[in-house]
Amino acid sequence: MASEYTEYVEKNGKMVAKPQTKKIWRTFWILLIITVLEFVVAFSLPHHMHLLKVSIFVGMTIVKAAYIMGEFMHLSGETKSLFWTIIVPLVFIAWLVLALLMEGGFISSY
């Protein structure tokens, strides 16, 4: 299965895996853009919109986590059912943590 995604080049008479620097840089730029958007949200939204700010952060964190799982855990090449089997519980756990923080009064007191 790995041979489907890995390109090989001949170097000194041996077949060596081609460096995947393009993919690494693309991943870096995507994660950097999402992080910059998080900073823009953090410093541009007024303080009284705290719940919206937290919701946006949770959403962007889930997007980053899904992308990281897809790229670094090689789940993007797997079947979609395996990908969603991991993502859906992650979303529910994030929702549970947010709901517990809100119901416990932590977010409203902050």
Instruction: Please report, for the chain, the start and end positions of each structural domain, with discontinuous segments joined by +.
Output: 1-76, 77-109
Q: What is the pLDDT of residues 8-51, one digit of tens each?
A: 666 677 776 777 778 888 989 999 999 999 999 989 988 888 88
The answer to whether 70 and 76 have CB atoms below 8 angstroms apart is yes
Q: d(Cα 40, Cα 44) in Å, to the nearest integer?
A: 6
**Is the pLDDT reported for residue 97 higher than 70?**
yes
Give the predicted TM-score (pTM) of the model.
0.59
- Tell me, what's the pLDDT at 3? 45
Question: In sequence order, which residues have a C-beta less than 8 Å from that of residue 97 and are 6 or more positions away?
Answer: none
